Amino acid sequence: MDETSFKLLAKYLPSTYVQQAKDARNTTNFLFNQLLEKGKWPEEGWSERNIEILLDELASLDSNNFLKNHGVGEREARIASSLVAKRNFHLGHGLGRSGDLTEVQPKAAGSSVLYQLTNDLARDVLRTLGVPDVKACFVAPLATGMSLTLIFLCLRQQQPKARYIIWSRIDQKSCFKSITTAGFEPIIVEPILNGDELVTDTGKIEAIMKQMNPELIACVMTTTSCFAPRACDDVETVAVFCKIYRVAHVINNAYGVQSTKCMHVIQQACKKGRVDAFVQSTDKNFMVPVGGTIIAGFDKSFVNKISQCYPGSKEYKTLARERKHLFQLLKEGLAMIASRFGLRVLDTPGNSISIGISLPPVKDPKLLTQLGSQLFLRCVSGTRVVSNLEIKVINGHEFRSWGAHHSNYPTGYLTAAATIGMTAVDVEQFLKRLTKVMESWSTKTIPMVLPSLTNGHDGFTHLLTSDHLVDQESSVI
């Protein structure tokens, strides 16, 4: 509801009630705004109702929930089952973009805000619970072992010669496998028996660092929370050695967030020595279902690097058949538009999902960007405009014409895709909106006079009311 709604309520209610209702609403908005502004763990827990309202509000910002949206991409957060849609609060776009967890997803503004907010809150939680110096963290959709592997893989990119990880032995399979899965050789340091307790053999760890070429060591991995009689590792001393010998240090703080002691030793370790990253499980510390971690550290740029490492039946058969049909429809429509603007549909018989339409050569690449964003602003999601001019460097590799799959593709183009779940209305609206956009855009780029359509209509409604549509509707469930 907005200002207009409240005015309309006067039809139903005395004005004092309307005013009080507005005040109450402002109170709730204030709660939301505080969270958005501060990004802090609230002193008072929120009611489930307010949590749900905020999630609904954020979901409303995602394009799959726009009333007017028509998607023509391969990934449009269509959700087949209302059961699934509800349990995800209609948030369908996941996190991040092309292997960068923290990048904003244009189709999913709400999901993107939610993820950043989650990371801000997670950071505040770690600071509040005993590690005030933590600089950055992110919630990873990965179990603990897989998160450790991700960190190790990231360390390898920084130190390509590294082959070993020094590991203060802890008998948990996934810890050990995180090393071998990442392709490293573990150097196992058995703990020392001290009375009943097993404590870190810091002497041995130092000895190894001393004697080996540090370039060969990816890191030392220590563990805080563990089963007795093994003690929490002496991460402080290890951190000091890591600083001296310039070796990275990764701490598995699996379920240590709940223990002030585990948190304290990490804070101390960071103050006196070196800690590159520490990992904690979400389920074991925050009482949510199994499946995630917080990856945190004291150097923002290293934590960012880790997050960028993340590489990112009957009815069904009917839908699949329908998709084929829509592909045809989309192709015909694009051909009509192409011919009208002196362009052409790219001839790509080997691709049965995505279709390209050539674009005229432009002097200023910004013109191409404009085309894409004009479509986006008209609630068309999923098209790609490929300029053919971009050069991109990824992990040291230079790609010419990135996005074109080829260094010298002869023309710029725009693609759209016919994917499962798309409807005839999506195709129709896309074609109409594309025509509209092309009409104004082409005046800037195409130097020819276009004949106006004699019969005054755009041609696509006709397309859809022909027998295509009849086929289509009769087969939709």
Q: Which H or E run includes 381? A: strand 380-381
Residue in 137, 143, 217, 438 binding a copy of itself, rule: CB under 8 A: 143
Instruction: Give yes or no for a contact between 430 and 379, defined as CB atoms under 8 angstroms apart.
Output: no
Q: For residues 9 and 367, which CB has a smaller minimum distance to a copy of itself in the complex?
A: 9
Q: Is 285 in the site for a copy of itself (CB under 8 A)?
A: yes
What is the spatial distance between Cα 122 and Cα 281, in angstroms, rounded to a whole number? 12
- The position carrying tokens 């008209």 is 378
Residue in 15, 133, 207, 229 binding a copy of itself, rule: CB under 8 A: 229
Query: Cβ atoms within 10 A of the Cβ of 274, count?
Result: 22
Stretch that binds a copy of itself, among 52-60, 363-371, 442-450, 457-465 (CB under 8 A): 52-60
Indicate the angle between helix axes 300-309 and 144-158, nearest 10 degrees.
110
Q: For residues 46 and 245, which CB has a smaller minimum distance to a copy of itself in the complex?
A: 46
User: Minimum distance from CB of 309 to a copy of itself (Å)?
Assistant: 5
How would you list the strands of the sheet with 136-140, edge to edge?
136-140, 293-297, 277-281, 249-252, 217-223, 164-168, 185-189
Q: Is 417 in the site for a copy of itself (CB under 8 A)?
A: yes
Residue in 118, 174, 304, 374 binding a copy of itself, rule: CB under 8 A: 174
Q: Is 293 in the site for a copy of itself (CB under 8 A)?
A: no
Residue in 138, 241, 310, 460 binding a copy of itself, rule: CB under 8 A: 310
Q: What is the DSSP letter of 108?
A: B
User: Minimum distance from CB of 362 to a copy of itself (Å)?
Assistant: 18
What is the spatial distance between Cα 14 and Cα 9, in angstroms, rounded to a whole number? 9
User: Minimum distance from CB of 261 to a copy of itself (Å)?
Assistant: 5
Residue in 70, 72, 91, 303 binding a copy of itself, rule: CB under 8 A: 91
Residues of span 351-410 touching a copy of itself by CB under 8 A: 351-356, 373, 376-377, 379, 384, 386, 394-395, 397, 399, 402-410
Q: Is 178 in the site for a copy of itself (CB under 8 A)?
A: yes
The pair of three-digit structure tokens given for residue 123, joined into one six-digit string: 């950071």
Q: Is 311 in the site for a copy of itself (CB under 8 A)?
A: yes
User: Minimum distance from CB of 289 to a copy of itself (Å)?
Assistant: 4
Cβ neighbours of residue 286 closer than 8 Å, sequence gap 6 or more: 257
Stretch that binds a copy of itself, among 40-48, 202-210, 364-372, 432-440 (CB under 8 A): 40-48
DSSP string, 31-90: HHHHHHHH----SSPPPHHHHHHHHHHHHTTBGGG-TT-EE-SS-----S-HHHHHHTTT
Nearest to 74 by CA among 313, 472, 473, 415: 415
In degrees, rounded to 5, the angle at the alpha carbon of residue 54 between the alpha carbons of residues 49 and 60 is 125
Q: For residues 349 and 456, which CB has a smaller minimum distance to a copy of itself in the complex?
A: 349
Nearest to 438 by CA among 341, 321, 293: 341
Q: Is 176 in the site for a copy of itself (CB under 8 A)?
A: yes
Q: For residues 157 and 328, which CB has a smaller minimum distance to a copy of itself in the complex?
A: 157
In 102-221, where does DSSP find H-type helix? 109-128, 144-158, 173-181, 202-211
Q: Is 156 in the site for a copy of itself (CB under 8 A)?
A: yes
Provide the sign of the torsion angle of the four alpha carbons 80, 86, 90, 91, taken in this order. Answer: negative
- The position carrying tokens 């603007």 is 341
Residues of span 237-276 touching a copy of itself by CB under 8 A: 254-256, 258-262
User: Minimum distance from CB of 456 to a copy of itself (Å)?
Assistant: 26
Binding marks (x or -) toward a copy of itself, 433..462, rule CB under 8 A? ------------------------------
Q: For residues 232 and 239, which CB has a smaller minimum distance to a copy of itself in the complex?
A: 232
Q: Is 338 in the site for a copy of itself (CB under 8 A)?
A: no
Q: Is 467 in the site for a copy of itself (CB under 8 A)?
A: no
Residue in 17, 207, 365, 462 binding a copy of itself, rule: CB under 8 A: 17
Cβ neighbours of residue 49 closer than 8 Å, sequence gap 6 or more: none
User: Minimum distance from CB of 475 to a copy of itself (Å)?
Assistant: 11
